[in-house]
Amino acid sequence: MYTFYLFSILTYMLTKKQTQVLDFIKVYMAKHSYAPSLEEIKKKFKLASVSTAHYYISKLQDAGFLNKEHNQPRAVSTVEAKQTVEIPILGAIAAGQPIEAIEIPDETITITRDEIGKQGKHYALRVQGSSMIDEGIFDGDIVVIRKQDVAENGQTVVAVIDDNEATLKKLYRENGKFRLQPANPTLFPIYRDEVEVRGVVVKIIRNLESQLDQGQSRDEKYVRKIDYSWDYRGEKTKSYTHGIHTYPAMFIPQVGRRLLETYSKEGDTICDIFCGSGSALVESRLIGRNAYGIDLNPLAIFLAKAKTTPINPQKLTKEYIALLDRVEKIKDNEIKRPNFKNIDFWFKDKVIVKLAKLKKAIRTIKDETIQNFLMVAFSETVRYSSNTKTGEFKLVRVKGDKLEKHDPDVIGIFRKHAEKNIAGMTEFYKDAKKDSWTKIIYGDSSKDNGIKANSIDCIVTSPPYGDSRTTVAYGQFSRLSAQWIDVFEDPNDASGIDNDLLGGRATKDLIHTLSSDYLKESLEKIAKQDEARAKDVLSFNLGLNECLKQAHRIIKPGKYFCLVVGNRLVKQVRIPTDFIIAELAEKIGFTCEDIIVRNIPGKRMPIKNSPTNIVGALEETMNKESIVVLRKN
C-alpha cells in the first residue's frame, strides 16, 4: 500500500515519457531480473540515440526512482534498509572465445542480499565480448557468480576448459560430452569431454556509463560515426583468392572494395602500405585499379603475390594432377629432410617425410607462378599437419593425449586446400581485369620504397595493431611455413621479424616530439602502471608517424588515405589509435574527413595475448575497429 502511494505521488512529478520508460524498466526487470540496456531502451522508444536513453535514466535517478549505484536502473527502492554484501570482482571473463582468467585486485561491488539469494559464496567478473548477447549479457557488464562446481543443463556458467581458459557460456550435457553454447546466433558452440564448472551466473549488472562511452564519442575534436553497414556480418569473405591462406587480421574484402570504390576510380593507381596477405590488392585487381603493396613480412609478400597473379585454371589443374601422381612415386630415401631448430617438437616424423615428398614434387614444377600457387596450399598443409593448436596465431603445441593421437592425413589436407584454392583462382582468373597490374614490394613503409612522390591516387590499408610481439605475432605465425617454403633466407629468423615491425622495439625512454594529445594522455596513463609497455606503445606510434609521412609523400594532393585501425587496450587503458592517427596526420598535411566505427564480426584476432602467459597479463579482445579517412591537403 505504502509503496503504491509513494509511486502515485512521484509518478505525478514525471513527464509522460519518463513514466513510460520507468514502466518499461519495471516490466523488463520483473521478467528478466536484470535491467534493460540503453540500446534496448532506445529501440523500445524509438529514441534518436543511446544518449537520449541515458538522459531518461539520469532523470529517473535524479527523481529517486532508480538507484544510482553502478548506474543500474533498478526498481524503485522500498523504504526499509536492505542488507548489503560486498562481492570481490575477481577479473574479466570472455563471453566469446575462451581466455585465460585475469585478476583485477581490490575491486568490489556492493549489492543487496535479496538480489543474489541468501545461500552460497559469490564473486563477480567483468564480461568481455558478445557471445551471450541473446541472454542479455553484454560486453562491459558485471556478472555475479555463485560458486559451485556442478550446474544444471542450460544454466549460464563460468567454465574452465583446456587447463586455464575460462569462458561464460550455457552448459549442456549431450552424448557423453559437454556443449558450451554461446547465446549469439553467429557463433559456434564449443564441445569438450571435460569442463570444470566454477560457478553459475545469478545476477547481471549493467554499467550504463561504460555503454555510453562505447556507444558514442565523448571527444569534440573528432567524431566517431557508428555505421553498421560496414559490418558485412555473415557475408562470404573467402571468395576469389581471398581464402587461399590464413593470415592474422585480414581485411574483410567487402571493406577493402567499398573504400576503393568510394575513394578511387577505375584506372587509378592505389597502394596498400601494410598489404599483409594482399586482400586489398585482390579487390583492386577485380575492380580495375593498378596497385602497389608493401609489407615487411616475407610470408605476406609471398601470399600477396600468389593471390594477385592470375593463372590459367586449366594449366593449373593439369600441373596439380601431375603433381599428385609424382608425390606417390617419391621414395623415402629420395627426400631431403629439413633440419631446422625444434623440427621434431613441431612435427611428427612421418609428417616430416610426407611434407618433404610434397615439397619435392611441387619444386619440380617449371612454371614459377604455378609452383608458388601450389606452395600456398603446401604452407597451409604445414600448419594443419604440425603439432600446433589450430585457431591460434601464436605457436602453441597440443598436449598429452591429443598429441599422442595426432595423425594428420598430410596429402589429404594438401588436396583439400589445393582444390579449394584452384576453385578460387578459377574465379579470380575470370574476373580480374586483364589490363591492370599489381606490384608487391618487400620493404619497410616507414621508409622510401621507391614509389614516386605524388603518384598514388588512393591508399587503403590496415596497420598492425602495435606491439606485434604480444598481440598479433606475425613472425610467430609465419615461422613454421617459412621454415618449409623457403621465404626467409634463414628460416630460423622468422619469428625475429616481429622486432622489425611497427612497435617491435621499445624506445629507450618516453621522450618524444609527436604532437598528439591523445597519445600523450595514453602514454602517461600506461607509464604509471608499466613503463616498458608505454615504451612499446611510443615505439609503435613513432614508426606509424614515419609511415604517415611516407604516405603523404607518395599520394597526390586532394586524394584519400583510408586506415582501418583497432583501438587497443593496454594495461586497461584504451588507446584511441584512430584519434592519434588523425592528430598526427593533420600535423603532416592531411585533413581527417571521417572516422567510421564498424563491428568486427568474423575477423581473426588474437583471443589471448598474454605476453608471458601470466595471469593478469591478458589485455584484450577486440570487436570494433575504426576506419580513418584522411585527405591530403
Taking the complex as a whole, how short is the minimal distance between the CB of residue 474 and ligand SAM, in angstroms? Answer: 5
Taking the complex as a whole, how short is the minimal distance between the CB of residue 58 and ligand SAM, in angstroms? Answer: 40
Using alpha carbons, select from 83, 88, 125 the residue that is nearest to residue 108: 88
Residues 403-442 vs ligand SAM: string with x where CB under 6 A? Answer: ----------------------------------------
Using alpha carbons, select from 511, 477, 508 the residue that is nearest to residue 494: 477
Calculate the CA 369 to chain-centre distance: 32
DSSP string, 32-84: HSSPPPHHHHHHHTT-S-HHHHHHHHHHHHHTTSS--GGG---PPPPSS---E
Rank residues 313 and 464 by Cβ distance to ligand SAM and give the closer one.
Answer: 464
Rank residues 277 and 541 by Cβ distance to ligand SAM and give the closer one.
Answer: 277
Residues numbered 236-255 forming contacts with ligand SAM, rule: CB under 6 A? 247, 249-251
Active site residue: 37, 130, 131, 478, which one? Answer: 131
Q: How far apart are CA 612 and CA 326, in angstroms?
A: 45
Taking the complex as a whole, how short is the minimal distance between the CB of residue 267 and ligand SAM, in angstroms? Answer: 23
Phi first, then psi, for residue 519 (nearest 5°) are: -65, -45
Residues 290-329 vs ligand SAM: string with x where CB under 6 A? Answer: ----xxxx--x-----------------------------
Should residue 487 be labelled a site residue for ligand SAM when binding is judged by CB under 6 A? Answer: no
Residues numbered 264-293 forming contacts with ligand SAM, rule: CB under 6 A? 274, 276-277, 279
DSSP structural state of residue 397: B
Rank residues 200 and 482 by Cβ distance to ligand SAM and give the closer one.
Answer: 482
3-state SS assignment for residue 146: strand
Calculate the CA 554 to chain-centre distance: 30
Q: How far apart are CA 153 and CA 595, in angstroms?
A: 44
DSSP string, 354-366: HHHHHHHHHHT-S
Rank residues 205 and 501 by Cβ distance to ligand SAM and give the closer one.
Answer: 501
Host H or E run for residue 481: helix 474-485
Taking the complex as a whole, how short is the minimal distance between the CB of residue 399 and ligand SAM, in angstroms? Answer: 29
Find the length of the chain: 633
Instruction: Determine contact, residues 594/627, Cβ cutoff 8 Å.
Output: yes
Q: Is 169 a catalytic residue?
A: yes
Should residue 232 be labelled a site residue for ligand SAM when binding is judged by CB under 6 A? Answer: no
Q: Is 468 a catalytic residue?
A: no
Should residue 536 be labelled a site residue for ligand SAM when binding is judged by CB under 6 A? Answer: no
Residues numbered 448-467 forming contacts with ligand SAM, rule: CB under 6 A? 462-464
DSSP structural state of residue 465: -
Should residue 474 be labelled a site residue for ligand SAM when binding is judged by CB under 6 A? Answer: yes
Using alpha carbons, select from 608, 212, 200, 227 the residue that is nearest to residue 391: 608
Using alpha carbons, select from 112, 58, 56, 57 the residue that is nearest to residue 84: 112
Judged by CB under 6 A, the residue of 501, 554, 627, 630 near ligand SAM is: 501
- Which amino acid would we find at residue 61? Q
Active site residue: 42, 169, 305, 608, which one? Answer: 169
Rank residues 109 and 501 by Cβ distance to ligand SAM and give the closer one.
Answer: 501
Instruction: Determine contact, residues 222/629, Cβ cutoff 8 Å.
Output: no
Rank residues 145 and 375 by Cβ distance to ligand SAM and give the closer one.
Answer: 375
Whose CB is nearest to ligand SAM?
A: 276
Rank residues 480 and 502 by Cβ distance to ligand SAM and give the closer one.
Answer: 502
Catalytic positions, please? 131, 169
Residues in touch with ligand SAM (CB under 6 A): 247, 249-251, 274, 276-277, 279, 294-297, 300, 444-446, 462-464, 474, 501-502, 543
